[in-house]
Amino acid sequence: MKKNVVVVPGLRWSVKISLFLGAALCAIFMSSCATNQGSYKFTVLLYDNPVYVPHWKFDDTHSDTPEGAALNIITDMQHGDMNHWLASWDPADRPNLSSDQQSSLLHEWQSLKDERLYMVGRIVADNNVIVELSVKGNSQATFKFPLRKANDKWWLFSMDSGTECLNWENSPNKIIETMQATMIQRCMVNDTNLQTIARQ
Residue 90 has pLDDT above 80, yes or no: yes
Confidence of residue 184 (pLDDT cuts 50, 70, 90): low
For the segment 74-98, the average pLDDT, to the nearest whole number, is 95
In tens, the pLDDT along 98-147 reads 999 999 999 999 999 989 999 999 999 888 899 999 999 887 889 999 99
Residue 8, CB-side half-sphere exposure with 13 Å CA sphere: 21
In tens, the pLDDT along 12-69 reads 332 222 222 333 333 333 334 543 344 457 889 999 888 888 878 888 888 998 999 9
Instruction: State the CB neighbour count (10 A cutoff) for residue 23.
Output: 21
Residue 128 CA: distances (Å) to CA of 111, 136, 185, 197: 29, 27, 20, 24
Structural domains present in the chain: 42-198 (3.10.450.50)
For the segment 74-103, the average pLDDT, to the nearest whole number, is 95
The torsion of the CA quartet 83, 89, 93, 99, rounded to 10 degrees, works out to: -20
What's the count of helices (H) and strands (E) in the chain, helices before strands? 5, 6
Confidence of residue 6 (pLDDT cuts 50, 70, 90): very low
The predicted pLDDT at position 59 comes to 86
Rounded Cα gap, residues 88 and 66, in angstroms: 12
Which string of b and e fits 119-141 if b means at least 16 CB within 10 Å?
bbbbbbbeebbbbbbbbeeeeeb
Strands 128-136 and 140-150: antiparallel
